[in-house]
Amino acid sequence: MGNLRDSLFAPVESEIVLVEEGIKAVADVDYPWLAELLGYIVSSGGKRLRPALTLLTGKLKDGCNLDLLIPVATGVELLHTATLVHDDTIDLSHRRRGKPTAANIWGWGIATLAGDYLFSKAAELVSQACNIRADRLFAQTLTALCTGELEESFTSFDQNQTRQSYLRRIGNKTASLFSMATESGGIVAEASEEAIQALRSYGYNLGMAFQIVDDILDFTAGEEELGKPVASDLLQGHLTLPAILLKEQYPDSNPIRAIFEKREKEQNLELAIEMIRSSEIVPECYRVAQDFTAEAYRALEIFPESPCQRALLELTDYVVERQK
C-alpha cells in the first residue's frame, strides 16, 4: 500500500490525507456502541483506489474546487466500504483482509444496518458538492450495485451462468462504482461533456479489468494474500470468469457440478483450482482484462499529459499487474 501511495497517488497525496480524516470522522458519533462499530469498519484499511481516482480525475482540470471534490471522494470510498459490509453479510463471510468481519463480531443484522448507515453517510458527503448531476450519478450507481448484488444472489449455484451474464454482473457490482469515481471527478471539476464521458469510459473499463483480475487472484493467490479462503466465490456458488472458462473448455469433465451439488466438495474444489492454475485459463482471463485496460488507455488520450494523467495511466497498469 505504501508503494502505491508513494508513486501512483503522489499528485493527490495531500488530498488523500484529508479523505482519510473524513473516513475516520464517520466514527465520531455520540453513541459509544455505534462509534466502536463504525471505527472498526473504517479502520480495516484498503487501497483507497476509488477516492484516488476521483481526486486524480478532478485535478485533470486546472482550478478544480478541492473543497467540493474531497467530500465526494470520501463519499465514494464510504460507498465502497458499505458494499463490502453488505457483501460479507450476504455471503456469511467470517474474515476480510485477514480480520473478522463486522458481521462475525456484531451479528448479521447489526452489520446490515451499519452498511445502510454508511450508504447514507456516503450520500450526505456527495451532496456537499451541491451538484444535482453528482447526486443523480450516486443514486444511479447505488441502483446498479444493488442490481448486481441481486443478480449474483438469484443466480448462485446456477450452473448455466455464462460469460455474458458474468460481465453484466461485474459491470453493475464493480465497474459502476469505478465509473462513478472517475465521472464524478469530472462533474465536480466542471469539465467538458467530452471529458466527462471519457472519464466515465475510463472508470468503467478500469473497473471491469480490476474485477477480472480479482477473480483470477481468487484462484491463483494464497489465502494469506487474499485474506479469505482460496476460490471463495466458487464455494458460494458464483461462477467468475476462470470458472466459466473451465466449464467452457471442459464441458463434460469439470468439477463444478460436483462442487455445486456438494459432492466430495473439498476434493473437487482442489481439482478445480489445479485445473485453472495449470491450463491456459489464467492467461486467457488476463487477455480479457487487458482488452478492457486498452479501452481505458484510449479514454485518456483526449487529456494533455500531466502528473494526474500519468498517474491514471500507471494505475491502469497496476490493476493488471497487482498480486492482491
Would you mind telling me the total number of residues written for the chain in this entry?
Answer: 324
Q: In the prediction, which pLDDT does 6 show? A: 66
* 134 burial level (CB within 10 Å; 0-12, 13-18, 19+): buried
> What CATH number corresponds to the domain at position 101?
1.10.600.10
CB atoms within 10 A of CB 236: 16
**Residue 223 pLDDT grade (very low, low, confident, very high; cuts 50, 70, 90):** confident
Model confidence at 246: pLDDT above 90: yes
Q: Name the grid cell of 307.
A: 502528473
Task: Note whether 311 and 6 are within 8 A (CB).
Answer: no
DSSP annotation string for 56-91: HHHTTSTT--HHHHHHHHHHHHHHHHHHHHHHHHHT
Q: Which helix (H) or strand (E) holds 233?
A: helix 232-235
Mean pLDDT of 309-322: 94
Give 271-286 pLDDT, tens digit per residue: 999 999 999 999 999 9
Task: Note whether 60 and 189 are within 8 A (CB).
Answer: yes
Q: Which helix (H) or strand (E) holds 95?
A: strand 95-96
Quickly tell me which residue has 450519478 as its cell.
137
* 283 burial level (CB within 10 Å; 0-12, 13-18, 19+): exposed
Model confidence at 98: pLDDT above 80: no
Give 38-87 pLDDT, tens digit per residue: 999 999 878 899 999 999 999 999 999 999 999 999 999 999 999 999 99
Residue numbers of the domain that contains 125: 2-321
pTM (predicted TM-score) = 0.94
Q: Which helix (H) or strand (E) holds 35?
A: helix 32-42
Mean pLDDT of 246-253: 90
Model confidence at 189: pLDDT above 90: yes
Model confidence at 227: pLDDT above 80: no
Q: Name the grid cell of 181.
A: 469515481
- Within 13 Å and on the Cβ side, how many CA atoms surround 97? 14
Model confidence at 28: pLDDT above 50: yes
Task: Note whether 125 and 203 are within 8 A (CB).
Answer: no
**Residue 94 pLDDT grade (very low, low, confident, very high; cuts 50, 70, 90):** confident
Helix 176-188, helix 132-154: angle, nearest 10: 180
**Residue 287 pLDDT grade (very low, low, confident, very high; cuts 50, 70, 90):** very high
C-alpha–C-alpha distance, residues 114 and 86, integer Å: 9
**Residue 1 pLDDT grade (very low, low, confident, very high; cuts 50, 70, 90):** very low
Question: Any idea what DSSP says for residue 100?
Answer: E
Model confidence at 324: pLDDT above 80: no
Task: Note whether 142 and 119 are within 8 A (CB).
Answer: yes
Number of domains in the chain: 1
Least confident of 92-96, 112-116, 254-258: 92-96
